Amino acid sequence: MSEPFETKGAILIAGPTASGKSALALAVAEAFGGEIVNADSMQVYRELRLLTARPSPEDEARVPHHLYGVLSGAENCSAGKWSRMAVEAIAGIEARGRVPVIVGGTGLYFRALTEGLAPIPAVPEAVREAVRAEVAASDNPHALLVAADPELAGVIRPSDRQRIARGVEVARGTGKPLSQWHKEPPAPLIKGPLARIVLAPDRSWLKRRADARFEAMVASGAVEEAGALAALGLDPSLPLMKALGFRPLANYVSGNIDLSTAVARGQAETRAYAKRQETWFRTQMIAWRRFAAQDSESVKAEIFSFIDELGLTRK
């Protein structure tokens, strides 16, 4: 196992969707001479800039941004794959004498980076493709997992083809069940001074903000974006096909529901996801410093002072 990357000082910003993470990251990066690294599992894909709330081209022009829109929606970006790309981006940022600012709402990505994941070897692409095709064609894919990894099969729903395929491909590609790999001790991928920040806004404020943002996405072209993705005919089990609001808007494009219903469903999906994120951050990121989000100026000053304690110098 390789040694973790020794950072000179990195800033990590997590928070639920619509909490203002991207705006804060931009302000932090400009103040501390930083470059931004995406830690959102949907923003790594290029097809849904609007619907996944990726930074605008104008924001990307203000400071360098990394790992936004770098993968096709036809790919599956695991936490392991993202963390390897993130370490490479962080090392490049520090080599340029800049400060890494990692921002996003995917708690598992932050865990992979700071705590590590099971050291699972890469699965040969030929094995991956063969297993994915077999699972897609099977009337009972769960039986494939029972044969390959019965322990894992006991905790995965028979309808979850994506996780079933992952379990089967790891068992076949590495010769060792995924359930056994998960018992290997993980190791962090980075170490050193880390400013760990979680935005924890008032729930009613976040609900209003998320609802308004979804309406703004629709007004800006999210319907057309969803229609273009649906037209690609990608496997519905792929991560990007589960992007918040995509399915309701795609159903509107196909004429199955009206626009007001699609918007209401997209807003409901977003609120439910934000609630799950809040639960993760509260229970899994206990050692992280929590800040309110809605009082932006006073909170920003408090956050900047917290980062100052890391020994980083404002530009």
pLDDT tens profile 37-65: 999 999 999 999 999 999 999 999 999 99
- pLDDT by residue for the chain (315 residues), tens only, comes to 468 999 999 999 999 999 999 999 999 999 999 999 999 999 999 999 999 999 999 999 999 999 999 999 999 898 989 999 999 999 999 999 999 999 999 999 999 999 998 778 888 989 989 999 999 999 999 999 999 999 999 999 998 888 899 999 999 999 999 999 888 888 899 999 999 999 999 999 999 999 999 999 999 999 999 999 999 999 888 899 999 999 999 999 999 999 999 999 999 999 999 999 999 999 999 999 999 886 667 888 999 999 999 888 887
Of the candidates 6, 7, 9, 5, the one whose C-alpha atom is nearest the C-alpha of residue 310 is 9
pTM of the model: 0.84
Residue 294 has a pLDDT of 67
The pLDDT of residue 192? 94
pLDDT at 237: 82
pLDDT for 295 equals 65
| pLDDT at 146 (0 to 100) | 95
**What pLDDT is recorded for position 69?**
97
- Strands 99-104 and 194-199, by their bridges, are unpaired
Of 248, 272, 246, give the one whose Cα is nearest residue 260. 248
Q: What is the separation, in whole angstroms, between the first and last Cα of the chain? A: 37
pLDDT at position 315 is 78
